[in-house]
Amino acid sequence: MAPIKKLLGIAPKPQTDGTLSPSPVALKLATRNKTDYDHRDYPDACSGSDCRVLVMCTEENSMTMKNGKAFSTGNHPVETLVPMLHLEKAGFSLDICTPTGKPAQIEMWAMPEKDEAVVSMYQKYQAAFQQPLSLHEVVAAGLTDDSPYVAVFIPGGHGAMLGLPDNKDLGTLLRWVHQQSRFLLAICHGPAALLSARTDDDSPFIYRGYKIAAFPDSLDKVTPLFGYLPGPMPWFFGEKLKTCGVDIINHKAAGVCYQDRKLITGDSPDAANKFGVMAAEALLDALTQKKIQNLKS
């Protein structure tokens, strides 16, 4: 069977670290050399100390599938860098962070190599991806009312399902974001990290009753057929979010984005540009409203 898959171009590609990246057919179907990043400007761009966004990345790059094969993963470059481009254009400073400060992992096989803006953004932040902040240290230092972070951004990529959904520090951070009425931005598989906000007691899940756009479990169940994944998924984050009372509004990955209160989500790389615009504009609008309220008081 393996030689036939290789002949058809649907056999996942072996990497030097023993993991498998998507097959040639899968790459043609699911990746692009250039994104739809629209280079828009934000005339009312943010300025000041309260214009910071924490970009919460995974530091893990190998997902063990049900059949024991390892998928080469991390954060998807389009879902990471296109929203970052919009947030930076809107005046926000971006702090890269991982659970323990180990390097952020990027799915380089999905890098849109002919997209100058995206590649330049990666090069600009490459050092930060290699030496990110440690979430454990950020949380240990204390999350207070005067924290500069107006939002936490969780990029997609299957790597978002590794080490984030059960990370207690991330749970503390997300509950703080919710209590402080700050923004949470998550795209594609990024919403898997919402699961970290669950508690061991009977407290209701903070995102119960929320609607989100996310990568559908149904697609993750079929992508092994053409070699995007080297085997069946070990678990499905959509199923777990639904048991927590979260409503996933999309059944396809068609670039859907959605805002429910201070939670902004998108479903796939095709949503990255729209998601970035939605996030940047929502953050800028919230800061404008805050300034107006401060002037009135």
Q: Which positions are catalytic?
A: 188
**Phi and psi at residue 178, to the nearest 5°:** -65, -45
Closest to 79 in 3D by CA, of 255, 227, 236: 255
Q: What is the rounded distance in angstroms from the CA atom of residue 201 to the CA atom of residue 169?
A: 17
E strand residue ranges, 116-262: 133-134, 149-154, 183-187, 211-212, 247-248, 257-260
Q: What is the rounded distance in angstroms from the CA atom of residue 14 to the CA atom of residue 209?
A: 42
Q: What is the rounded distance in angstroms from the CA atom of residue 186 to the CA atom of residue 257?
A: 10
The residue assigned the tokens 């180990």 is: 102
For the chain, the first-to-last Cα distance in angstroms comes to: 71
Answer left, alpha or beta for residue 292, where phi above 0 means left and psi between -120 and 50 means alpha: alpha
**Phi and psi at residue 192, to the nearest 5°:** -55, -30
Say if residues 197 and 206 touch (Cβ distance below 8 Å).
Answer: yes
